Structure 1
Amino acid sequence: MLIRDPLPEPARLISLDVFRGLTVAAMILVNNPGDWGHIYAPLEHAEWHGCTPTDLIFPFFLFIVGVSISYALSAARQQPGTHAAAMWRVLRRAGVLFGLGLLMALYPKFEFATVRIPGVLARISWVFLACGILFLKTSRRQQIGLLVGLLVGYNVLLQVVPVPGFGAANLAPETNLGAWLDRLVFGEAHLWKNSRTWDPEGLLGTLPAIATGLLGMLVGQLLRRRELEPAVRVARLFVAAMGLTIAGLVWNEWFPINKALWTSSYVLYTGGLATATLAALYWLCDVRGHRGWWTSFGQVYGVNAITVFFLSGIVAKTLNAVHVGADVPLKTWLYNTFFTPYFSPVNASLAGALVCVLIWFGVLWLMYRKGVIIKV
């Protein structure tokens, strides 16, 4: 739905828009290198266990989803009579997000027999749906209990429950319980094309991803506690961030930090870093009132985050589908023409990604100036 809204009011939580915008801009940066064969190490995912800066991006976004829910549904939560209507809106938006993810996977060939069903937008939709309902129907204490239960339960599932056909529980890419479940439910033809035997956004891993959203919800509720001075809120967030990060690093000793598996240690570690980042941005942007090019950049990206993520994926696929001459994709031709002659391979690849981010900033800036926000 295309609507025209006024620009964000001063009372809006600027830090959340900035955080969301910087996160989705980072998504576009790492998703659009000029050459996948030449990438700086911090812009790649960890090969399996471990965590790079790139591995922080998706959990940061799901954390932000949780924080946003605590603001968007706060009024409805206080009025039980409106819960049915609010849950319908949550269900509708989750359905649209899932549909957009499926459309991205199908485009441009629309091969339904091999379309990937799990994916980034699919996981966002599942987390949004679960967290939206939980926010309306559970108390803060119950949410903390659910968070702990999801993390401990997921640990047990992956490290205790035997894997049918493979034997003992394990954390290997193709033989862990989550990979087995994805092949059973979706079939290999509908999983991540780079593996076809497992999927980094698989079904079982959605459980701890929901926990990431719950962390964001809890942080959002703390930010909304107006009886506390802003400095107290920020201090509590930093203490919580330190505790979460340390807990994640400790848990890593027997349940390794792993983005593809979305392990419980990964939830705590990335949740702690996300909490610290939001606390810092909240203090700088909303409490101290600092503004600059970086806040404007974040806001421009932040108010149309899903829009730019979806459109950037569609445009990238279009550039690969259109050919120059016999068999050279337009994207490759543009890269070889404007980047490879002037930079080293790895710097050319980075330059291509940065130009992509800047082009989309230009598009979003025009939308922002006109007050155009595309909502699902």
Structure 2
Amino acid sequence: MASSSSLTDATVPLLPQQSPPPPPPQSESIVIAEHEIHIASPARGLCSSEQPKPSASDGSRRLASLDVFRGLAVVLMILVDDAGGAFPCINHSPWFGITLADVVMPFFLLIVGLSAGLVFKNVSNKPAATQKVVVRFIKLFLLGLLLQGGYFHGLNNLTYGVDIRHIRWLGVLQRISIGYLVVSLAEIWLVGDMTVDSFMAFVKKYSTQWILMILLSLTYVSLLYGLYVPNWEFEIMYKDAASNLNGTIQTQTVQCGFRGSLGPPCNAAGFIDRLLLGENHLYQHPVYRRTKECSVNSPDYGPLPPKSPRWCLAPFDPEGILSSFMAIVTCFIGLHYAHIIVNFKSNRKRTVFWISSSIILLVFGCILYVSGMPLSKPLYTLNYMCITTALGGFLLTIIYLIVDVKDIRWPTLLLQWVGMNALLVYALAACDLFAAALQGFYWRSPQNNLVNATELLFETLLHSSRWGKLVFVLVEILFWCIISALLHMKGIYWKM
């Protein structure tokens, strides 16, 4: 058990000055140097340009707003994943558009960049730092492979195991690990050795990273609109209705043969994944099965409508290779926000630069949308990245002003504690490991378990399956907030 935790970068600098936890033990933590962020005291006010001076009463402390933001992202993930089926309005959009669920992943990736920028702001031993980054990348990637590769079969299915021929290579944690690897290496090796005493010096110091970010964006857009997508085939396994065993395999052909399509069947992102990963290693239940073309219950899952297109049953990975380009760019923007914290000490400058950056992203994303680029989380389109990252920037600024500047922490304590053990809560709650384990203890029939009985109780009391489900999920979130609080009191923080 290591000293700190996160779904992205477990060690965020700045120990709380009021009740500091015991010093962390020597471990495989990726901390390379001391990470102190000076936060002006509330007495100075938001608009003060005075440089804060560390002292006994106003010193360096942990950036609590980052823990709160991370905890909020985890809580939102649990909410939309578990209650999205009952409330499609908060579930992922079937293909185009943005819902509450669609902002969660960009929030996590923004946190990845923020954490990397704070952890690696001063690196004295670059090879050692690189080694630790690579090791942690491997650990996170393998954990993601275990949690989302198909080994665990989820709720209401007391089985496990995966055929290696059909393992899913990419997923949420894998995407986070890739973004972490790229931005951490960029922060270690691609930062200019100069003092930031002006805005132009700030731009010059990190210019190489900005060039890399622009190149990634241009490569993504060029491939998305310029890559020719030929006709392609996929296989469907039909089960025997009598025995419920696998029966015949049918090959379906999807007609494409053109460029620039951003629809589900013929986009370049899916073509690249099928070519490099293979269709058997992609996500087998893509979100476009909730579109009107593929579901009579759209925007929810449902039976296929009459004369539905063949591609409705085809696999597609929302965490695929091409869309990961824009995910990495999101991490770089988080890195930019961290650079603002590191190089500008006054709360006024930090707030102005954060809000200005978010406004620029929002305006640019809206211009792209008006120009004809659709918003799509599965494709992680450029304007989707800009708008969702801007929303994350605005939200982070608000949390920073409340929690770190005004020092009003009690309303967000539960979120802060969840954020300090985000990886544990993500694995046990968001990936259903804990609930699935509880379902393994049942009375006579697997359906008679504590999880199902509790959910049924709320549905019965409220006379509604939808609202009963929502209350059940809220109780689940509260449960994990309490668990996180108890772990915090014990000084237990889990990380890779």
TM-score by length of 2: 0.70
The aligned counterpart of 2:386 is 268
**Within the alignment, does 1:168 sit opposite 2:258 as a pair?**
yes
Larger relative contact order (CA 8 Å, sep ≥ 6): 1
Say whether the 8 Å CA contact 1:319–1:329 is kept in structure 2: no
Q: Which range is displaced more, 179-188 or 346-355?
A: 179-188
CA distance in 2: counterparts of 1:317 and 1:304, whole angstroms: 20
The aligned counterpart of 2:212 is 146
**Compared with structure 1, are the counterparts of its residues 71 and 37 closer, same or farther at alpha carbon in structure 2 (3 Å cutoff)?**
closer
What is the CA distance between 1:73 and its match in structure 2?
Answer: 1.1
State which of 126, 130, 135 in structure 1 corresponds to 2:187.
135
What is the CA distance between 1:185 and its match in structure 2?
Answer: 2.5
The aligned counterpart of 1:363 is 483
**Compared with structure 1, are the counterparts of its residues 181 and 324 closer, same or farther at alpha carbon in structure 2 (3 Å cutoff)?**
farther
Amino acid at match of 2:265: E
CA distance in 1: counterparts of 2:472 and 2:369, whole angstroms: 35
CA distance in 2: counterparts of 1:329 and 1:87, whole angstroms: 50
**Compared with structure 1, are the counterparts of its residues 145 and 331 closer, same or farther at alpha carbon in structure 2 (3 Å cutoff)?**
farther
State which of 12, 16, 21 in structure 2 corresponds to 1:9.
16
**Compared with structure 1, are the counterparts of its residues 325 and 193 closer, same or farther at alpha carbon in structure 2 (3 Å cutoff)?**
farther
CA distance in 2: counterparts of 1:135 and 1:178, whole angstroms: 28
**Within the alignment, does 1:310 sit opposite 2:357 as a pair?**
no
Amino acid at match of 1:213: C
Identity rate, percent: 30
Alignment of 1:1-376 (within 5 A): 1-3=1-3, 8-10=15-17, 11-33=61-83, 37-39=85-87, 41=89, 43-76=90-123, 79=124, 82-105=125-148, 106-107=151-152, 109-113=160-164, 114-139=166-191, 140-165=206-231, 166-169=256-259, 170-195=261-286, 197-226=315-344, 228-253=345-370, 254-294=372-412, 296-312=413-429, 313=431, 314-319=433-438, 324-326=443-445, 328=447, 330=449, 333-343=452-462, 344-376=464-496
Structure 1: state its 5+ residue gaps: none
Say whether the 8 Å CA contact 2:364–2:386 is kept in structure 1: yes
Say whether the 8 Å CA contact 2:455–2:469 is kept in structure 1: no
**Compared with structure 1, are the counterparts of its residues 329 and 8 closer, same or farther at alpha carbon in structure 2 (3 Å cutoff)?**
farther
What is the CA distance between 1:273 and its match in structure 2?
Answer: 1.1
Say whether the 8 Å CA contact 2:414–2:482 is kept in structure 1: no
What is the CA distance between 1:350 and its match in structure 2?
Answer: 0.9
Render the CA deviation track for 1:204-251: whole Å, top value 9, x for unaligned.
11111000000000111011124x521122012111111111111111
Q: Which range is displaced more, 105-114 or 172-181?
A: 105-114
Say whether the 8 Å CA contact 1:29–1:356 is kept in structure 2: no
CA distance in 1: counterparts of 2:446 and 2:325, whole angstroms: 43
CA distance in 1: counterparts of 2:86 and 2:495, whole angstroms: 35
What is the CA distance between 1:152 and its match in structure 2?
Answer: 2.5
Higher helix share: 1
Say whether the 8 Å CA contact 1:178–1:205 is kept in structure 2: yes
What is the CA distance between 1:262 and its match in structure 2?
Answer: 0.7
Look at both structures and tell me which one has the larger radius of gyration over its CA atoms.
2
What is the CA distance between 1:256 and its match in structure 2?
Answer: 1.4
Q: Counterpart of 1:9 in 2: which secondary structure?
A: coil
Q: Counterpart of 2:459 in 1: which secondary structure?
A: coil
C-alpha RMSD over aligned residues: 2.2
What is the CA distance between 1:322 and its match in structure 2?
Answer: 5.8
Say whether the 8 Å CA contact 1:26–1:57 is kept in structure 2: yes
**Compared with structure 1, are the counterparts of its residues 116 and 208 closer, same or farther at alpha carbon in structure 2 (3 Å cutoff)?**
same
What is the CA distance between 1:299 and its match in structure 2?
Answer: 1.1
TM-score by length of 1: 0.91
CA distance in 2: counterparts of 1:211 and 1:189, whole angstroms: 28
Structure 2: state its 5+ residue gaps: 6-10, 18-60, 153-158, 192-205, 232-255, 287-313
